Structure 1
Amino acid sequence: MAMPTIRHVRAFTVRGGGADYHDQGADHWIDDHISTPMARYPQYRQSRQSFGLNVLGSLVVEIEASDGSVGFAVTTGGEIGAFIVEKHLARFLEGQLVTDIEKMWDQMYYATLYYGRKGIVLNTISGVDLALWDLLAKVRKEPVYQLLGGPVRDELTFYATGARPDLAKQMGFIGGKMPLQHGPAEGEEGLRLNLEKLADMREKVGDEFWLMFDCWMSLDVNYATRLANAAHEYGLKWVEECLSPDDYWGYAQLRKNVPRGMLVTTGEHEATRWGFRLLLEMGCCDIIQPDVGWCGGMTELIKISALADAHNALVVPHGSSVYSYHFVVTRHNSPFAEFLMMAPQADKVVPMFNPLLLDEPVPVNGRMKVPETPGFGVRLNPECNLHRPYQH
C-alpha cells in the first residue's frame, strides 16, 4: 500500500482556554498576583493579563492526507501563527509523503531562520510538527508513543502545578509546584510573604511531599539565591525558571549558589537543540523543561532529550497535555510528568486544554496510563468556534 501524501494544510485560531491556557476568565489562580518580569511596574503586578499574556489565543493546525486521514495539533500562536502556517510553511508540507517529517521540519526551520529561531515561529513550527506526528500515527493506526519506540513504563506519575499543593496531595500527586507571587520589586515584605506561603504549605502537606516554586522568569541572581537559601529549611525541592531565558550565565551562577540538594530547573521558554545545548553545556540546571508545543515539536524534543541524556540531565517537559504524555512514557530520563491544575481554584482535576480537546485523559490519584488510541488520542471539540483568518 502506497504511503499517502499531504494534500492540504489549514490553520485556525480559537479563544478561551485550550492550548493558550492563560486565556482564562476572572478569578482564576493562574492570573492572581504571580511574579513576572513585568512586576517591576506596579500597574502590571496583580494580573498577568493586564500586560497581555492572553493576547495570542490558541493555534490549531490541521493536516489532511491523500487517503483522507487528518492529523491536528494545538499550541499557542493565534493569528500570527496562522499567518505563518498558511502563507509560508504550507509550501514545505503539501505534496510530501506523510513519513517525511524530518525533512519537513528542516525546511520549515531553515526557511524561517531570518525571522524565527525562537518564540512565536518555533511555537508555530511545533504545532505543525505535532500535527504531522498525529497524522502519521493515524495512518499507521497506532498511538504516537509507538512511533517513538514504545513505552518504558506502564503508567505516568505526575506532580501538580497550581495554587493549592495541599489539595494536590489529597488528589494523589507526588508534589505541588506553586507560582511565586512576589518578586524583587516588592522588597523584603514580598520575600517574607513568599516564605510564609511556603511554610504554611509545608505544614499542611508534611515532610515527604514535594514542594517547588515556579518563578516565571521574574527574578535576578541575587534574589533567587536569597529565596533558595531561605526556603531550604522548608524542604523546597527546586526553584524553576528564576531568570530570563537568555541569562545562561546567571543560571550557571545560581546553580552554584543554591543549597546542596536543591535543584535548579528551567527551559520552558527555551527552543531547539541549540538553546538547550547552552543550558546543558554551561551547567545551568539539573532538569530541563522543554514545552513540546514551543521548543520545536516532537521532532526537536527527541534531539533535545538525547542531548540531555548525554549530560546526565533529566527531561521533564512543561505541561502540554497529551503531546508530552506520549513522549514521557517512552523515555527513562523523563521519570515523571507535570499536570497543570486548570480548575480556577485548583481544587479538582480537569483536562488541561479544556474546552478545545475531547477525550483528553487526566490522571487519577496522580497516575495515568496513556491511551492506546491512534495518534495523540484526542479530537477537536466541534463546539469551539474555530476561525480560519488566512488561506493559501
Structure 2
Amino acid sequence: VYNLIGGLSRDEITFYCTTPEPAAIKALGFWGAKVPLPHSHFEGEEGLRKNVEFLAAHRAAVGPDYPLMVDCYMSLTVNYAIRLAEACKHLNIHWWEEVLSPEDNEGYREIKRACPFVKWTTGEHEYTRYGLRHLIEERNLDIIQPDVMWVGGMTELLKIAAHASAYDIPVVPHGSGPYSYQFIASQTGPAFCEYVAASPDGKSIMPVFGDLFEGEPVPVNGKLRPSSAPGFGMTLADRGVLAVVE
C-alpha cells in the first residue's frame, strides 16, 4: 500500500509500547512506553498523590531519560489535568494522552495555555476529519493520533495528515497494527508507531490481530521493516471467517 500513497520514505519503523510493564518493554528494545493512568479526579487529593506515586515508580524503574507517556482515556477535567501535569514535572513525562474528550477544544486550549511546554496528544476517539480539523487548527495539541480503522480508512487518514502538516503537527496513528505501519512507511513525519501489548502479561510480543492473519509482522527489538507484500501484507489464516460477513 505504501507505494500507492507516496512510496517508501523509510526502511524501518521504531515503536513505543502501550503496556502496564514499562521496564519489561524497555528491555525488549522499544524506544518508549505508555502506561494507563490508574486513578481519576473523583478520588481527590489521595488519587492525585497515588497517580504521582504510580508514575514515579515507573520512572524509577526505567531511568530518568527513557520516554514515558501517560494515557488518561478522556477521563480528567481541565483543572485536574493541569494539576497532575504540574505535580509530575519532575518525572519528565514525554506526553499526556487523551486527558479530555477530543470534542473539548476549549479545554485543550486552557491546558495548553497553562502548561505550554508540556506535550498534549489526542485523536483516536475523533472519527472524522471534520472533528479533527478543529483540534488541528487550534494548535493546542503536539501530536494528533487518529485511528486508521475508526476514522474512515487510509484515504481519510491521508487527508488528516495533509491538513495537520500545514500546522506543523505530526500525526502518529493510534494502534491498528499493519494498517498504521503502511501509513508511517509512506510519510516523512515521525518514523515511529504505537504497538499495544495485548498479551495477557502485558509484556510479551504478540500479533495485534491474534491468529486472524497469517504472518502478521510484529516488532523485533522495538523495530520493524515495512512489508513489501501486496496490500497490507497480510492473509486471512482461515477464509471461513468470510462466511460470517457475507
CA deviation after TM superposition for structure 1 residue 273, in Å: 2.1
State yes or no: 1:263 paired with 2:155.
no
CA deviation after TM superposition for structure 1 residue 371, in Å: 1.3
State yes or no: 1:293 paired with 2:136.
no
Q: Report the CA distance shift for 1:253/1:331 in structure 2 as closer, same or farther (over 3 A).
A: same
Partner residue in 1 for 2:100: 243
CA contact (8 A) 1:160 1:177 kept: yes
Where does 1:30-69 land on structure 2 (aligned, <5 Å)? none
CA deviation after TM superposition for structure 1 residue 388, in Å: 3.0
State yes or no: 1:336 paired with 2:168.
no
CA contact (8 A) 1:273 1:303 kept: yes
CA deviation after TM superposition for structure 1 residue 386, in Å: 5.8
Partner residue in 2 for 1:354: 210
> TM-score, normalised to structure 2's length?
0.95
State yes or no: 1:202 paired with 2:32.
no
The superposition leaves residues 66-98 of structure 1 with CA deviations (integer Å, 9 ceiling, x where unpaired) of xxxxxxxxxxxxxxxxxxxxxxxxxxxxxxxxx
CA contact (8 A) 2:20 2:35 kept: yes
Amino acid in structure 1 at the alignment position of 2:109? A
Q: Report the CA distance shift for 1:360/1:228 in structure 2 as closer, same or farther (over 3 A).
A: same
> TM-score, normalised to structure 1's length?
0.61
| CA–CA separation in structure 1 for the residues paired with 2:11 and 2:241 | 36
| CA–CA separation in structure 2 for the residues paired with 1:383 and 1:190 | 48
The residue matched to 1:178 in structure 2 has which SS? strand
Q: Report the CA distance shift for 1:326/1:186 in structure 2 as closer, same or farther (over 3 A).
A: same
5+ residue gaps, structure 1 = 1-143
Partner residue in 1 for 2:39: 182
Where does 1:197-236 land on structure 2 (aligned, <5 Å)? 197-236=54-93
Q: 2:131 aligns with which of 260, 275, 287?
A: 275
Amino acid in structure 2 at the alignment position of 1:237? H
State yes or no: 1:315 paired with 2:171.
yes
CA contact (8 A) 1:159 1:173 kept: yes
CA deviation after TM superposition for structure 1 residue 162, in Å: 0.9
| CA–CA separation in structure 2 for the residues paired with 1:312 and 1:365 | 30
The superposition leaves residues 353-392 of structure 1 with CA deviations (integer Å, 9 ceiling, x where unpaired) of 1132221100111100011110101122318856636x6x
CA contact (8 A) 1:229 1:259 kept: no
**% same residue:** 49
Partner residue in 2 for 1:364: 220
CA deviation after TM superposition for structure 1 residue 259, in Å: 5.8
The superposition leaves residues 247-287 of structure 1 with CA deviations (integer Å, 9 ceiling, x where unpaired) of 11101111122262x20000011122211110011122110
The residue matched to 2:11 in structure 1 has which SS? coil
CA contact (8 A) 1:313 1:333 kept: no
The residue matched to 1:149 in structure 2 has which SS? coil
How many aligned positions are there? 246
CA contact (8 A) 1:356 1:384 kept: no
The superposition leaves residues 159-216 of structure 1 with CA deviations (integer Å, 9 ceiling, x where unpaired) of 0001011111000011000011111112222211111111111111111210011000
| CA–CA separation in structure 2 for the residues paired with 1:348 and 1:216 | 23
CA contact (8 A) 2:207 2:216 kept: yes
The residue matched to 1:200 in structure 2 has which SS? helix
| CA–CA separation in structure 2 for the residues paired with 1:248 and 1:185 | 22
| CA–CA separation in structure 2 for the residues paired with 1:313 and 1:325 | 19
The superposition leaves residues 282-334 of structure 1 with CA deviations (integer Å, 9 ceiling, x where unpaired) of 12211000000011110111110001111000100001101000000111123
Q: Report the CA distance shift for 1:360/1:189 in structure 2 as closer, same or farther (over 3 A).
A: same
| CA–CA separation in structure 2 for the residues paired with 1:186 and 1:358 | 45
CA contact (8 A) 1:357 1:380 kept: yes
Q: Report the CA distance shift for 1:206/1:294 in structure 2 as closer, same or farther (over 3 A).
A: same
The residue matched to 1:239 in structure 2 has which SS? strand
| Stretch of structure 1 that moved more, 271-280 or 299-308 | 271-280
Amino acid in structure 2 at the alignment position of 1:210? P
